[in-house]
Chain A
Amino acid sequence: MSTPAPKQETSVTLEIFTAGLWKENPIFVMMLGLCPTLAVTNSLANALAMGAATIFVLVGSNALVSGLRHFIPKQIRITTYIIIIATFVTLVDYLIQAISLEMYNALGAFIQLIVVNCLILGRAEAYASKNSFNKSVVSAAGMGVGFTFALACLGSVRELLGSGKLLGFQVFGDNFEPWVVMILPPGGFIVLGSWLILFKWIEQRQTKKIISSDAATHCTVKHNP
């Protein structure tokens, strides 16, 4: 990112970028944009293509919303945002069709359905409409990369277990019996559920550690005087 930001702002913008990656990850933490997440992650390649398309729409529309934020009347802002987003999605739709027709058919209607991805409208309303152009672009890029990361998490597990391959290469050898259910719809729900439970478990362990160390310091403070 070559954002010409002033010196004090660089640390802020880096934080804004990384917030989308982990702390406010759109899928694992905020549970936004679930439909494309589950529908296109039956292989890693599809997941990455969907992620790239979403990043393009997210950054483009948030940049435009942020740039125009002083000109959009408050009453019709949601409609305006939707139309801006729909324009970018139409662009991406034709772009993917031109680059790879095979990928276009694999993703199906879900490219056009990026319009109603709550993540994009949510960011436009909650962030881009209130913050400066630079900040909005960086934040949108962070969110987009976080979204793609989550898609890749799901896609790699599902492709690995469901077909024994990763990006089309055999991983487990010929004797591996694929778990076909992982590529089918139920697999999407189950893998996402497992990731969520795993993250919750890690989070709980961390808070437990913090609480116990807090308690320990409290005790020493109490005992000292």
Chain B
Amino acid sequence: MQAEESLGYLFLNAFLINNFVLAMFLGLCPFVGTSARRDTAINMGIATTFVMLISSICAYGINVILVKYGLEFLRLISYIAIIAAAVQLVEMTLKKFSPVLSRALGIYLPLITTNCAILGVALIQTAKGYGFLQSVAFSAGAGAGFALALILMAGLREKLELANMPSVTQAAGLSMMLAGILSMTFMGFAGLGGSAT
């Protein structure tokens, strides 16, 4: 039944209704770490979406092979290896073709390997039994959702830098509070796709 969902709904679901960062708590470390400035947030969002798409497609292929030979217990190890390889590939490609973007992303690119949102996409699409096109729609939605949350958060934090805040909230506590309010706002999207849980 799950596998019959339409592509548009899958995209929307991962993008807004069950936003990866704000509703499913995936990819919080880069969300807190790279949301201090808007331009790094935009770069990070694009890079993550890109890696997510590639690794999701690769994970789909690997899963077909693993299931064929009955090696499901190797799933986790092979997924993480694929993601590490995909990140490496993206890094090398960027360095060759767009040194500017590669320099702008800096250390964030290797850190994508340990972004749980990417492994999360691969695991969830396997658990729900999505087909190839569904996997692509799902991972594109998840990536776009991650980028959206990151950029919104960066905008808010840039504004608050100029505000006069009590000194106790100047550490990560404030970011968490902001994320909580954003998350509450995103709850308003529940029911958008019709049959949301």
A residues neighboring B (CB under 8 Å): 31-36, 38-39, 78-79, 82-83, 86-87, 89-90, 93-94, 109, 112-113, 115-118, 121, 181, 184-190, 192-194, 196-197, 200-201, 204
Contacts and interface: CB of A to CB of B under 8 A. Distances in A.
25 contacts: A31-B29, A34-B32, A35-B25, A35-B26, A35-B116, A39-B26, A79-B81, A82-B81, A82-B84, A83-B80, A86-B76, A90-B77, A93-B76, A112-B76, A112-B119, A118-B29, A184-B187, A189-B176, A190-B180, A193-B174, A193-B179, A194-B177, A196-B171, A197-B177, A200-B173
Interface of B: 22-29, 32, 73, 76-77, 80-81, 84, 113-116, 119-120, 123-124, 127, 167-169, 171-177, 179-181, 183-184, 187
Interface of chain B, helix or strand or loop or mixed? Answer: helix
A84 to B, nearest CB: 10
A189 B173 contact: no
A86 B183 contact: no
Contact of B22 (A83, A185, A187, A193): A185
Given A189-B183, A200-B171, A115 B76 contact: yes
Contacts of B113: 82, 116
A207 B26 CA distance: 35
A113 B173 CA distance: 24
B80 A189 contact: no
A83 B82 CA distance: 12
A38 B28 CA distance: 9
Given A121-B114, A196-B171, A116 B80 contact: yes
A113 B32 contact: no
A34 B177 contact: no
A187 B22 CA distance: 11
Contacts of B29: 31-35, 118
Contacts of B180: 186-190, 193
A89 B23 CA distance: 24
Contacts of A194: 173, 177
A116 B119 contact: yes
A77 to B, nearest CB: 12
